[in-house]
Structure 1
């Protein structure tokens, strides 16, 4: 590998100079790369010589753009059998965030400084801290796929030091979201008592189960009767229905779990099992109408009227929101109806609010109407992949153990009466 100076004259007689790195790559192909400054040429030569020796060097002419690598990455994601919703999220990250900013850059140019500059541009263009983190994860996955194809030497996203920024980014993300607050993000016990009292009909068993098991909406939609053990009073979670109504496994192993259920849920499910909407069979009744199938443990616990997977929109718009309005768990919209009366809207607009309530119920002390469970058990009940996730979201809800009564008891124990 050599570094030499090249001089030439233009058609107008101007003298030009450049520094050329002349080398043979790992494939035995002679390569040349030109630089304006000698120090740039020397730096490239030092790096390239090591890469060639290790057999990992990729010349710019053999590299592809981020856009081209992104197409390979999406094709790999599909062939690996990733969930449709996951592939769609990857495609959105590529089309809306990666391609517009760095899509035409060669992979060989994706260095750590380039990734840091991309990260800065994401923030400058008003992407949220959460979105910035997710897009960088997707870019890292894209580069990993390109590495396996021999299109790039290193994964600059994964080389970028995370030790210094990981805690900072987490704190920034929490500040952006703010801590979950009772009465704002988490229904209070009084609000939940009012909601439970207003539950009736088709939505009562589903929402009661959500309130007292903390199951995700996708897990509730995929739950079968074979997963419900009424005698042992527990529910097994190992399936979920995604946004496209396709049944699959939970996204992580931690999502597969068994959750104990209180008597109010078990008794309601016993009654519901006698009248839940079953799928239609091919048999006809005397009036020529299709009959329902006989009860079967393979049936969904919370299906729609046809016995098929219930949509999340129906659960929210026909179940969660109306019952809050009926229970008076509402906020004023600031608008008036035709008769001059104030209009109200449901305070909690997503099913995750019920999951937040369940988490708080597990955490609260028995004296406060909760279960008083330790963090590790709460993590297992919620199906979180790590205890860090549980503590990041709900850590501020756990009793501190240094309240006035606890301090007084500790003082008496230490000093005596």
Structure 2
């Protein structure tokens, strides 16, 4: 019956699902019923069919994905990133759709909409988030296949992130402009390549002034929580030059003391909030140094890496100092800085001399 109480024709499809259970589904049009039955029959033979009543919406699956991340004890920043990807990129476009209705064409359209309305980098993250959500749904038995697993957002070479590196003159000006209680932290940053979270978690017990080394054994996230380094490779020891040793010796005498024994604490000896480091120390120092543009704190790490490369530090050692899990990661990030035509020419000349004398 329709809204006016008149008889209305409907088409019912009867079939057996992958478990052999009898199922039925109604359609208003014969063509829609036939199309659906063809697709369902194929999915049943492939073992990928999930009845609508046995699944949930993309929004529900996304919520479960975020909750699983929290339950697994992932870092707060990671959980927050997952929630942001789900709420701002996946759910607005696909939230009401049931997982059983997701198909490769639907996901490809989702991909295209992201590319059209976001940066390619963010679109890629959105697609990967959907694939991860579906993988978790598969684990829970809510869907039989991950139709987003092979969907990709390619990034043309011209669209790849360029490593932004301050010049040597800019770094010198920054160090000169930095206040006395920020200068030591800045010195260690530009000469070791430690991440901001690693610097804020660095303890005096991690610094060996006699051996002239600093060791990364922990980090502090943006909310002030202590945790292990980003990866096993993040736990490392890095040499420091004599000038840094001297600066740290002098700073240790003035450094505020606290329960954690931090090398770069706040004025009361506690953990520095990352936002405060930026807004009260780093950005004002850039302004005082006369910078025409604002650099992120992470560019200090890039500067350190470029300095190591300029000194011809070998790739394996460079990767170890930076705390990269693989040398491939180091090459992907800094490989373009390692090109040296003069060195190439010298190598080839030496090879020729070795062969012909």
Q: Identify the TM-score tier after normalising by the shorter chain.
A: 0.7 to 0.9
CA distance in 1, matches of 2:344, 2:44: 65
Partner of residue 273, structure 2:
311
Partner of residue 89, structure 2:
97
- Which one has a larger percent helix, Structure 1 or Structure 2? 2
In structure 2, do the counterparts of structure 1 residues 206 and 13 end up closer, same or farther at CA, with 3 Å as the change threshold?
closer
Question: Which of residues 123, 144, 162 in structure 2 aligns to 1:132?
Answer: 123
CA distance in 2, matches of 1:113, 1:383: 40
Alignment pair present for 1:386 and 2:326:
yes
Alignment of 1:13-412 (within 5 A): 20-26=13-19, 29-33=21-25, 36=32, 38=34, 41-51=37-47, 57-125=49-117, 127-158=118-149, 160=150, 169-170=154-155, 172=156, 174-180=157-163, 185-279=164-258, 298-328=260-290, 330-331=291-292, 347-364=293-310, 371-402=311-342, 406=346, 409=349
The DSSP-based 3-state class of the residue aligned with 1:20 is: strand
Contact 1:195 1:324 in 2 (8 A): yes
| TM-score normalised per structure 1 | 0.75
- Which one has a larger percent strand, Structure 1 or Structure 2? 1
CA distance in 1, matches of 2:180, 2:137: 53
How far the C-alpha of 1:327 sits from its partner, in A, is 3.6
Cα deviation code 1:108-165 (max 9, x no counterpart)? 122332222111110112x11111122222222211211111101112222x166xx6
Cα deviation code 1:211-231 (max 9, x no counterpart)? 101011111111112211222
How far the C-alpha of 1:326 sits from its partner, in A, is 3.7
How far the C-alpha of 1:402 sits from its partner, in A, is 4.7
How far the C-alpha of 1:356 sits from its partner, in A, is 1.0
Contact 2:108 2:151 in 1 (8 A): no
How far the C-alpha of 1:256 sits from its partner, in A, is 2.0
CA distance in 1, matches of 2:353, 2:314: 24
In structure 2, do the counterparts of structure 1 residues 383 and 46 end up closer, same or farther at CA, with 3 Å as the change threshold?
same
Q: Gapped runs of 5+ residues in structure 2? A: none
C-alpha RMSD of the superposition: 2.8
The count of corresponding residues between Structure 1 and Structure 2 is 349
CA distance in 1, matches of 2:161, 2:65: 34
How far the C-alpha of 1:24 sits from its partner, in A, is 4.6
In structure 2, do the counterparts of structure 1 residues 388 and 405 end up closer, same or farther at CA, with 3 Å as the change threshold?
closer
The DSSP-based 3-state class of the residue aligned with 2:144 is: coil
| TM-score normalised per structure 2 | 0.87
How far the C-alpha of 1:387 sits from its partner, in A, is 2.9
